[in-house]
Chain A
Amino acid sequence: MSKFPKFFCVFSFAYFLVVVPCVEAVKLSTNPVSFNRDIRPILSDNCFACHGFDAKKRKGGFRLDEPEGAFTPNKDGNMAIIPGKPEKSEMWKRITTKDPDESMPPAESHKKLTAEQKQLIKRWITEGANYQKHWAFEAPKPPLVPKVSSPKASIQNPIDNFVAARLKKEGLRSSPQADPATLIRRVAFDLTGLPPTPGEVEQFLADKSADAYESMVQRYLDSSKYGEQMAKHWLDVARYADTHGLHLDNERQMWAYRDWVVKAFNKNLSFSDFTTFQLAGDLLPSPTAEQLTATGFNRCNVTTGEGGAIDAEFIFRYAVERTATTVQAWMGLTAGCAVCHDHKFDPISQREFYSFYAFFHSSADPAMDGNSLRTAPLTQLKTPEDDKRLQEMDAAIKDSEGKFNGVLASVVYQDPATKNPPPAPREDEVIWLDDEGPAGWKTQTPPNFVTAENGKVFSGKRAIRRQAADVEQDVFDSDTASLSIPASSKLFAYVYLEAANPPKAVMLQFLLENWEHRAVWGDIDAIGWGEKDKPSRARVGDLPKPGGWVRLEVDPEKVGLKPSDKLKGIAYTIHGGTVYWDKAGVVGRVDPVNDSTHSLVAWTKQYEGKEPKELPENLRSIFKNTSSTNRSPEQVTQLRNYFLSKVCVEFKPSFDPLNSALAEAKKKREEYNEAITQTFIWRDLDKPRESFVMLRGAYDRPGEKVTRNVPAIFPPLANTTNATRLDLASWLLNPQNPMTSRVAVNRFWQQFFGIGLVKTADDFGSQGEPPSHPELLDWLALSFRDSGWDVKGFVKLLVTSATYRQSSQVTPSLLARDPENRLLARGSRFRLDAEQIRDNVLYVSGLLETTMGGKGVRTYQPPNIWEPVGFVGSNTRDYKQDTGSALYRRSLYSFFKRTAPPPFMTSFDAPNREQICTRRERSNTPLQALQLMNDVQHYEAARALAERMLSEGGATAKDRLVFAYKTVLSRAPSAQELVIVSQALDSHLIRYQADPEAAKKAITFGESKARGNLNVTELAAYTLAANLVLNLDETVTRN
């Protein structure tokens, strides 16, 4: 529940009872000079670079940024400033001298003081040269809400008192409230990013109750679209995107962070939790998935995986970027300057910068992102459904293991080597591939298995059919299998060539270290791999006779294999034709006593003292660390079990299906688990890195060692020994901190009024602009903080103010007086943001798909946005557009590739998310015009809107055009507007009647199909009329 209303009560009481005549505005020239308002900007711009905070760059021993420096004589005994005596002050002499060698600022700085600036400085010195700490570094003090005698309607809450008092001083008046249709459209766009529906407009217009406006606001605040609109702004601050940003710019998976931001606004997470979760969620006791996801804030930075890059350099850069981003996002300061030297304008020394940086220097993420979708640390975001499915799969694995163990327990095995008399050597066939492949086998493309009912089968229940135009393969390989080649053996496989369609050649291929082992029957040139007539492409015989099963046999030596080689895979290859394959393996002379696939003793012997890489880790270590004489019974059992279930030919028929089933069950679980969404999170290294001042900002020049701390100009950290990011977050939220709340409320103000009270929302330092309404800013900052950082409450406070509700109509004289509307004598009017422009046309045309969250979608994008810039090996080089409803999702959910962002975003001033952006430009360009007229997304929406006009808009052209205006602009057209649009519509109708072919084309642009029941000519003409309405300045403007 918002805590703001209590303010309203107190203050509205005040306006009713107290009507105090306002003091006449005092002329500026008789006001005492204020250091912060009048002098600091001049000094900061012209003097501080050489006479400021940066001791190394300080010239002549003069320091002007603080009284201690200015009033102390330098080594020559001169004082920069003698309060009250400009003529004796070195500063005054220097800025007024005619001597070019003495003159300040020096000519080479290209800085120059104006006559007025000089006079101000003189007056300031005369009045005593009173210094003030830079305004933003003083904690806000509760200001007195000014009492004003304005009419009741123009004072809705204390914001209006501050604004009205200032207007009065300037001799201006506020504007009347905007008309209700304009108001609801303004509120709807500001709170949800979408226009109101005609129904919502009607409801609001019909509501005559006193709180009609507030209930309307509340409806939009309660909408889940509110979170999407608010998130859009924060994602610019967080520099969120769907790719890594540097070099390959591959995809990264952290959209859960984006969705978290939306949810946080929708559930009205307090700004304090919003801060703590993002900066230190991982350090909270037993952090929830939500808190961990939030720490993604500082994993959103651009990272590289570029070959050749130096790790230390990027570890350093990431920490610098995260520090600067945090400082700018929460404190509105540009700390980046202090990376290389003491800040010239603001009191942040290089040492202090690196002390702050030390909070972010121990991130556990690697210097190289590996160009992978997921770069640790990560958290997996399981849904309850995922948990259920995983449990089921675990049960399936357990079941398979149970069966496996049952069979293993029942096996009766006697080693042939221990038999008496020992069995004689014999001819033996080992099958590698029949109805199943080797244990754990994988295929590149699933084989087309056939049964006797729909094909030819030689052995078992099924065979593989392959029909090819050119060279095609069925490949089976396995990480765990080792198909061992016995002495004097032959490799074999059965094949059946379709008589009606025989291939040019058939080939068997074997995987040892690589696949360079090929045996070909038929045309040796048909399949071009390997070297002709070498083991990598050996011709074994003619093409087998078609129309029957033929056994292919090849001597292992011919394809570069020898006895005791262990194969990992086999492939069937053909060139053209139709072929069936069935049963492959090896036949050879086997001596069970000495053969490692029959005798456990023989199998064990070959590995003694070695680390065979084909075996699992536990067995490898047994062989490496023990000998046959000193093994524990468990170790002996482990070896025996492995041998019997995976190696011994005698039990192969029993174990093969069990091995396959178990491997399959495990694979299924792994695949499922792998597909569950993960997201980048922050975790510190177990052992924090030591941090140093890096000389001149070079990653390889560490200087003095530093520990975590905050700049001395601010209140101290509560805990300075082993301070954590959690301490940092509480420090930011501490009531003594002068920055956090001001910076946050100013950004909200900017969002709702177009320009912040501090115009430079990214810089509250001395190079930034001072606030237009300092007392209002402080009042807002304190109210926000004291409300428990209630964001929705604060937003409501802003949009229910009379200041917000003013009409934006402007007279020439007011425009001349205040072109940027900094005094707030009128409502604000500005172009919609990129996302809103696109969402708007989708919404009014009925195309918008409102599903929330999930992986970024690939909407319409012209060809060759990604391709011409993408690295050849990048997985975001080729843009594959989505189809269906994904094309019509809200813009927030479109996939954002940083090195080539979507044009619908960048053409309309969205940042490319490579670094923090707290303030978007609002440009007005011909490329925007082209896009709004011709982009398939916009044009298709025009057609969809035209369909609505024709189907829902009434029977006459007039009704339909009124419908379009009401839908798009929340108002009916004026009579003159109607005439203009009707004339355009008529001429389009005439033109398309004359050229029905063109009409047909004009309604087919885009993926969605036009409704079939509509007249094509009419629809084409209405499409252009809709295109006209959607291109109106008023359509793309929030007024």
Chain B
Amino acid sequence: MNPLLDYQFQLNRRQFFGNVGLRVGGVALAMLAAKQASGRATASSVRVHPAQPGLPHFAPKAKNVIYLHMNGGPSQIDLWDYKPGLQAQFDKDLPESIRNGQRITTMTSGQGRLPVAPSMFKFTQAGKSGHWISELLSHHAEIADEIALVKTVHTNAINHDPACTFVMTGSEVPGKPSLGSWLSYGLGSENNDLPAFVVLTPTWSSKANAQALFTRMWNSGFLPTKHTGVALRSGSDPVLYLQNPPGVDSADRRVMLDALGKLNQRGFERFGDPEIQTRIAQYEMAFRMQSSVPDLVDLKGETKSTLEMYGEDVTKPGSYAASVLLARRMIERGVRSVQILHRGWDQHGDLPREIRAQCKDIDQPTAALIKDLKQRGLLNDTLVVWGGEFGRTVYSQGKLTKEDYGRDHHPRNFCMWMAGGGIKGGVSYGETDDFSYNVAQNPVHINDLNATLLHCLGVDHSRFTFKSQGLDQRLTGVEEAQVVKSLLA
């Protein structure tokens, strides 16, 4: 072999994979075949995209994350934060002692009064843990003991755009990397044929105008752009540009790539630029993705009982049910983080009807995801997070009857839950006041929650930094964040 080449390998600053990239074709294909047979990628020695040196900081409990983001801000009062005492307060004004002069949005600040709207939904206790769960999430009763519920999450922002940006990037101002990008950067990828960070944006059932998503919610910000989340799409091109053009098949591509590899190799011999080697490797990975991604999204191999567990929507491409099943399949294949953004939770009016439709989308599939991960032994390795960008007010926005009300944005306390690797199932953490309007005990800021999440993955959030604009930037921001120990197993 060319001595210059050999030497280059030692130096390759992007640490690409051993010498697979060089032997274009044969070896790469063989590797793919081997991986498919064994299911899960293991050998870290050939990782295309390894962890940063020193990471994880300590032995991780979880290796992967599935983040279920309920976009728009689900009502904690109608789902998780059980307040039976509110029934007696129906249509009474929210006491000033509770509101305490806190800012409210301009959507309700002009409203004459702020009448209390108790939830119209029944709550029952579930599992050994005895979590109170709304009838809207009846399937969640089966996973109650896996869930660590946090009732006192709070955030800085009161409107969607900044709040979504904050919950995903730790900053209200656009430009910071998202959680999944941080993980891709820090912990690398366990799979050479799939991206480390995948995003799904399923369909939703609410009829009201849904809030927008922003690609900055999965953007890499100041981190290298290869850590940007890859949006997995329903339809024939699950990853952008995956399909060959019409009239071009995989064999044609192979011929073209073999020639391309040889020609690029000659370029490398001429110029000695290690980027050329990286490019050769990336074309090979692209080729492998052309088969690994269709394999990933093909549900033919799933058993009938599995499909039934996820519910009838699971066969509808692009549904939430199909998305969580895909999330499980990705975790099996070593994808580091999967982010599912389910829209339609912004219920300013007509809340009871809208939230029913939304819960129907997610209830059974979410419970199925946890059970399915568990039965496959994956739940120990996987952290599942559920929540929105903020909660909703106890007072009604607009018309209030027993069966019809709306709720405005409420950043001061809302509910999120975590389950899986590193998490103590069945815990309920934090208490709110009788109106679910203020934190009464044990507040958990979004930055604390993210610190806890990183902790489960073996990462000390305070040491997990990247230098940008002269600062050691981190996901959890400037102010000190705390790992919430009570949530940990």
On A, residues with C-beta under 8 Å from B are 110, 245-249, 302, 304, 306-310, 317, 321, 334, 336-337, 340, 345-346, 700, 760, 762-763, 765-768, 808-812, 815-816, 819, 829-831, 862-864, 868-874, 899-901, 903, 906-907, 909, 912, 914-915, 921, 923-931, 933-936, 939, 974, 976-977, 980-981, 983-984, 987-988, 991, 998-1005, 1020, 1024, 1027-1028, 1031-1034, 1037, 1039
Contact = CB atoms under 8 A, between A and B. Distances in A.
Which of A345, A871, A1033 is packed against the most chain B CB atoms within 10 Å? A1033
Given A869-B212, A871-B212, A762 B469 contact: yes
Given A247-B160, A340-B478, A988-B252, A1004 B246 contact: yes
Interface stretch (B124-132, B133-141, B230-238): B230-238
Interface residues of B, number: 88
Contacts of B241: 862, 927, 930-931, 933-935
B228 A930 contact: no
Given A812-B4, A899-B215, A915-B174, A924 B271 contact: no
Across the A-B interface, the 3 shortest Cβ-Cβ residue pairs? A1002-B247, A767-B470, A1001-B247
B304 interface: no
B272 to A, nearest CB: 4
A812 B272 contact: yes
Contacts of B256: 933, 984, 988, 1024, 1027-1028, 1031
Interface stretch (B60-68, B101-109, B145-153): B101-109
B210 A1033 contact: no
A1024 B11 contact: no
Interface stretch (B79-87, B278-286, B326-334, B352-360): B278-286
A926 B282 contact: yes
A307 B105 CA distance: 8
A928 B173 CA distance: 28
B470 A308 contact: no
A988 B272 contact: no
B159 interface: yes
Interface string B2-14: 0010011001011
Contact of A984 (B216, B259, B290, B409): B259
A763 B469 contact: yes
Nearest to A869: B213
A337 B468 CA distance: 12
A809 to B, nearest CB: 6
Contacts of B263: 977, 980-981, 1028, 1032
A553 B262 CA distance: 85
A1004 B244 CA distance: 13
Contacts of A1020: 247
Contact of A869 (B215, B276, B289): B215
B112 interface: no
Contacts of B471: 334, 337, 767
Given A310-B106, A812-B11, A923-B225, A983 B212 contact: no
A309 B247 contact: no
A539 B381 CA distance: 69
B58 interface: no
Interface in B249-305: 249, 251-253, 255-256, 258-260, 262-264, 266-268, 270-276, 278-280, 282-283, 285-286, 289-290
Contacts of B160: 247, 306
Given A872-B209, A899-B216, A988-B256, 8 more contacts: A307-B106, A336-B469, A871-B210, A933-B253, A980-B259, A981-B259, A1028-B260, A1031-B256
Nearest to B230: A927
A819 B11 contact: yes
Contacts of A248: 212
Contacts of A868: 201, 213, 231, 233
A308 B267 contact: no
B275 A309 contact: no
18 contacts: A306-B160, A340-B478, A767-B467, A863-B235, A899-B214, A924-B275, A927-B240, A931-B240, A933-B256, A984-B256, A991-B251, A991-B255, A998-B247, A1002-B247, A1005-B246, A1024-B256, A1034-B264, A1039-B271
What does DSSP make chain A's interface, helix, strand, loop or mixed? loop
Contacts of B8: 812, 815
A334 B103 CA distance: 31
Contact of B159 (A309, A906, A930): A309
Given A915-B175, A977-B263, A1033-B267, A110 B462 contact: yes
Given A926-B282, A934-B245, A831 B275 contact: yes
A1001 B246 contact: yes
A900 B215 contact: yes
Contacts of B237: 862
B201 A869 contact: yes
Interface in B456-472: 460, 462-463, 467, 469-471
A1033 B279 contact: yes
B237 to A, nearest CB: 7
Nearest to A1027: B256
Interface of B: 4, 7-8, 11, 13-14, 103, 105-107, 158-161, 173-175, 195, 201, 209-216, 219, 224-226, 228, 230-231, 233, 235, 237, 239-249, 251-253, 255-256, 258-260, 262-264, 266-268, 270-276, 278-280, 282-283, 285-286, 289-290, 408-409, 460, 462-463, 467, 469-471, 478
Contacts of A1002: 245-248
Given A306-B160, A923-B225, A980-B259, A930 B286 contact: yes
A980 B488 CA distance: 59
A278 B81 CA distance: 52
Given A871-B212, A926-B289, A939-B245, A308 B259 contact: no
B252 A927 contact: no
A1002 B159 CA distance: 49
A495 B316 CA distance: 50
Given A334-B470, A334-B471, A1027-B256, A928 B272 contact: no
Given A984-B259, A1031-B260, A862 B240 contact: yes
Contacts of A929: 279, 282-283, 285-286
Counting chain B CB atoms within 10 Å of each CB, which of A345, A900, A914, A935 scores highest? A914
Given A336-B469, A914-B175, A871 B246 contact: no
A168 to B, nearest CB: 23
B161 A247 contact: yes
Contact of B216 (A914, A1001, A1027): A914
A924 B284 CA distance: 12
B438 to A, nearest CB: 19
Contacts of A988: 252, 255-256
Given A247-B161, A869-B214, A983 B226 contact: no
Given A337-B471, A988-B252, A870 B173 contact: no
A1034 B280 CA distance: 12
Given A302-B174, A819-B13, A935-B241, A864 B264 contact: no
B209 A810 contact: no
B293 to A, nearest CB: 10
Contacts of B245: 934, 936, 939, 1002, 1005
A981 B255 CA distance: 10
B15 to A, nearest CB: 12
A980 B195 CA distance: 31
Nearest to A302: B174
B255 to A, nearest CB: 5
Contact of A921 (B7, B224, B246): B224
Contacts of B408: 308
Nearest to B246: A1001
A328 B446 CA distance: 29
B462 to A, nearest CB: 7
A819 to B, nearest CB: 6
Contacts of A246: 161
Contacts of B270: 809
Contacts of B462: 110
